[in-house]
C-alpha cells in the first residue's frame, strides 16, 4: 500500500466543488496521473478515515498559455470526484 498522500496531490476547492460537497457529499481531489480508482478509494479512506461509495476520474488536458512572445503549456493532470457514504464527512476547510 502506498502512502495515501502519495496518491492524493491536493484537494480542489472551487465554488462548484463546495456546492457539491454540501448537496451531494462529493469531494474533488487532484491525484497522480497513474492512479486508478481502487488506489484513490483506498487512499481517501485511509487518509481521512471515511467510507467511500463511488469514485469517478477525469483526465484534464493542460492549457497552452502565452506571455508576450514566450509560449508554454501547463501539464496534464488527473481529477478524482469521490462520493462518500451517508454520514461521512471530510473537513477540508
Question: For residues 86 and 48, what is the distance between their CA atoms, to the nearest angstrom?
Answer: 15
Q: What residue ranges define each of the domains in the chain, with the CATH number in brackets?
A: 4-84 (3.30.70.330)
**pLDDT at 1 exceeding the cut of 80:** no
Cell (9 digits) for 71? 509560449
pLDDT tens track for 8-59: 999 999 999 999 888 999 999 999 999 999 999 999 999 999 999 999 999 9
Amino acid at each position: 500500500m502506498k502512502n495515501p498522500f502519495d496518491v492524493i496531490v491536493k484537494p480542489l476547492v472551487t465554488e462548484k466543488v463546495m456546492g457539491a460537497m454540501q448537496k451531494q457529499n462529493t469531494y474533488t481531489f487532484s491525484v497522480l496521473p497513474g492512479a486508478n480508482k481502487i488506489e484513490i478509494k483506498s487512499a481517501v479512506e485511509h487518509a481521512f478515515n471515511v467510507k467511500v461509495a463511488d469514485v469517478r476520474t477525469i483526465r484534464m488536458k493542460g492549457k497552452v498559455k502565452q506571455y508576450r512572445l514566450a509560449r508554454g503549456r501547463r501539464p496534464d493532470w488527473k481529477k478524482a470526484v469521490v462520493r462518500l457514504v451517508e454520514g461521512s464527512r471530510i473537513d477540508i476547510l
